[in-house]
Chains A and B, each alone.
Chain A
């Protein structure tokens, strides 16, 4: 059988961001996939060496437009760990709430993109209709739709008052009802199942060995979620990782659908337990030391490695984003699949390339 090389990306309808794959196909079957990324490498890690460490949270947030809040939060957490800053508990709860809102909006974006990728336009529209309600809450509480800009070293910039909490909780009930409507279609519809079940199977051992993180890892049956490490308010709000055992595209989709409801519950619990008090402490001095901080983003575990030497600039700012860890898994499951299933497999790891290249 003659082999053909089909280029996939960097411009492709299912890809919001540029990644290029050289797909070696035999008939309709993919036998090899070679990636090439690096189209949008911006060198943000190097920028830390010239920017003030307090102002750098703006850059950290702009690593990615979708997981932006948790990038900022992780950066602040890392600096706070190095400098031993006691963050007020109310700020930690607000960070948790915004982090979960960002998870909901990211998962809804992904569900929409996946529905769009398989040609289910109606479902795509409905996912984004629900997402818009979440974005409105985010805009009203933080000021931004996707770039929240509400996290700073030592706390948060804005508070949410009791009246707003009441309206948000009311909106959440409505959002939860909407979520039930669309996730029912994602989990039960025949045409969705036909596109996802049994496609791109990644076993538990493979997922662990390839260093997968987030829903990709949990979809293969490994119960690992960085939130159970108890950062921010998660020490008071227990998080049970959502897992599936199939390891196929459907499992990864189901994990994300279930996580939506868990996030809604976490927000409710956080609002029920939120303490009164200050929202930020004053930060003085320069950081000295090193830390590796891990948090759970919508796409999985993100690792921040910060090294500071007592000046106002960081010596090293290194981010390992979840997609970077999930790419090897994608390359592992692509060989052997049909060419028509490539978009689904690429989408189910939720690729965020601008995160990956920083």
Chain B
């Protein structure tokens, strides 16, 4: 049975720099390779609607006739499936999360 097992650990960490970041004064650096958010590039999109059909949550709506691409960010689960299957590579998954939303707005492109 050990007494003061914790004291060594506690003492060590009392004397070292904290492993936490001082958020919000110091923003969290996004990790390379993480799924942050979907970015849409309008230029090469052909409005084929594959992303809208395959989206597991129905966050994407694409209208071919009106050439509109719409995303509901609150419905999106950042799975990256659309970026993976996009034939024209006009969807990319980037690091870093978007800002928090207060209202449910859809983004029109």
Q: Which residues of B contact A139 (CB under 8 A)?
A: 31, 33-34
Question: Is A50's CB within 8 Å of the partner chain B?
Answer: no
In angstroms, how far is the closest chain A Cβ from the Cβ of B4? 9
| A126, A143, A147 pick with most chain B CB within 10 angstroms | A143
Chain B residue at minimal CB-CB distance from A186: B5
B61 located at the interface, meaning its Cβ lies under 8 Å from any Cβ of chain A in the complex: no
Question: Nearest chain B CB to A213's CB is how many angstroms away?
Answer: 29
- Establish whether residues A181 and B9, one from each chain, have CB atoms under 8 Å apart when the complex forms: yes
Closest B residue to A178 using CB positions: B9
**What is the predominant secondary structure among interface residues of chain A facing chain B?**
helix
Whether the Cβ atoms of A193 and B1 lie closer than 8 Å is: yes
The A-contacting residues of B in range 30-44, CB under 8 angstroms, are 31-35
* Shortest distance between the CB of A48 and any CB in chain B (Å): 13
Number of interface residues of A (CB under 8 A): 28
A101 interfacial contact with B, CB 8 Å: no
Which residues from 61 to 77 on chain B have a C-beta closer than 8 Å to any C-beta of chain A? 77
Q: A58-B77, A190-B1 are in contact. Are A182 and B9 (CB under 8 A)?
A: yes
B34 touches A144 (CB 8 A): yes
A residues near B78, Cβ cutoff 8 Å:
144
Q: Is A184 an interface residue, CB under 8 A from the partner?
A: yes
Contacts of A19 in B (CB 8 A): none
Instruction: Pick from B54, B56, B84: contact of A157, CB below 8 A.
Output: B84
Asked if B10 is an interface residue, CB under 8 A from chain A, the answer is: yes
Say if the beta carbon of B19 comes within 8 Å of chain A.
yes
Given A126-B13, A140-B31, answer yes or no on A185-B5 (Cβ-Cβ < 8 Å): yes
Docked CA distance A147–B19 (Å): 24
B91 at the interface (CB under 8 A from A): no
- Whether the pair A140, B79 counts as a contact (CB closer than 8 A) is no
**Distance in Å: Cβ of B52 to nearest Cβ of chain A:** 13
Name the residue on B nearest A158 (C-beta). Answer: B33
Q: How far apart are A154's CB and chain B's nearest CB, in angstroms?
A: 13
Q: How many residues does chain B have at the interface if contact means C-beta atoms less than 8 Å apart?
A: 23
Q: Does B80 contact A (CB under 8 A)?
A: yes
Question: Given the known A-B contacts A149-B79, A149-B80, A157-B84, are A188 and B2 also in contact in the complex, defined by CB atoms under 8 Å?
Answer: yes
**Chain A contacts with B in 94-147, Cβ cutoff 8 A:** 120, 122-123, 126, 129, 132, 136, 139-141, 143-145, 147
Q: In the assembly, what is the distance between CA of A120 and CA of B54, in Å?
A: 47
A185 and B6 contact, Cβ closer than 8 Å, known pairs A55-B56, A143-B35: yes
Closest beta carbon of chain A to B1's beta carbon, Å: 5
Q: Which residues of B contact A129 (CB under 8 A)?
A: 19
The answer on a CB contact under 8 Å between A188 and B31 is: no
Which residues on the A side are within 8 Å of B84 (C-beta)? 157
A120 contacts across to B, CB distance below 8 A: 6
Closest A residue, CB atoms, query B55: A55
Closest to A137 in B: B31
B1-19 interface code vs A (CB 8 A; 1 in, 0 out): 1110110011001000001
Residues of B close to A188: CB separation below 8 A: 1-2, 5
B93 at the binding interface (Cβ < 8 Å): yes
Give Cα A147 to B35, complex, Å.
10
The reply to whether A123 and B80 contact each other, CB–CB distance below 8 Å, is no
A189 to chain B: which residues have CB within 8 Å?
Answer: 2, 5-6
A132 and B33 contacting across the interface, CB-CB below 8 Å: no
Asked whether, in the complex, the Cβ of B35 is within 8 Å of the Cβ of A149, the reply is yes
Q: Please give, as numbers and ranges, the residues of chain B lying within 8 Å of A55 by CB-CB distance.
A: 54, 56, 81
Residues of chain B within 8 A (CB-CB) of A182 are 9
Residue contact A143 to B93, C-beta cutoff 8 Å: yes
Report the minimum CB–CB distance from B33 to chain A (whole Å). Answer: 5
Given A122-B9, A140-B33, A157-B84, output 5 extra A-B contacts at Cβ < 8 Å.
A122-B10, A132-B19, A149-B79, A182-B9, A189-B5
7 contacts between A and B (CB under 8 A): A122-B9, A123-B6, A126-B13, A139-B31, A140-B32, A190-B1, A190-B3
